[in-house]
Every structure is written in C-alpha cells, then in structure tokens.
Amino acid sequence: MPIICMDLLQHHNLIIDTCKRRLVDGNTKLSVCVTSFSGCILSLVKSKHTIDPLYQPLLDKYPGIHQTQPKRPCVTSNVAHHITSG
C-alpha cells in the first residue's frame, strides 16, 4: 500500500529539511519555514527527478518558466496545514 503523504512529496520533488525546519522545492530550491507537529513521523525517501521528454522542447523554448525565483522571507502566521493519510 503506498504512503500517500510521501508519494505527494516525491511527486512534487519536495524535500523536508528537519535541521532547518523548512520545506524545500527540489526544483527551484525555494523554501518555506515550518513548525513541528507532535504527531508527525518522518522517514527517508530517495527519489530521482526526470523531465518527461514530451515537455523538454517546451521548457527549452521558454527557459525562464522554471528559473529560481528570488528568496522570500519566512512567513509567520497561525495557519497550520496538515496532510493526513490512512
């Protein structure tokens, strides 16, 4: 049975940096600060990101579409997001 939460992170190439408490976009290297959740258990996931050959010509034609955006400061708010699976 697949682990939906980990599949979601892998599909979108998202990396959890527990040392710096942030979620990192593996493609753009953009990150957001996060807070810990007492019910959260993390496990190591290894993934390889590849670009579908169907989309490569489009990305080559418009190279700016996937360039890294300027780093933004961490947002502080009381909003909490949770992904539940099971």
What pTM did the predictor assign?
Answer: 0.39
What are 1-43's pLDDT values in tens digits? 455 677 788 888 888 888 888 888 989 888 888 776 555 555 6
In what side-by-side order are the strands of the sheet with 22-25?
Answer: 14-17, 22-25, 31-33
Phi/psi at 62 (5° precision): -125, 75
What are 34-52's pLDDT values in tens digits? 776 555 555 665 556 677 8
Partners of 15 in the β-ladder: 24
What is the arithmetic mean of pLDDT over 52-71? 78
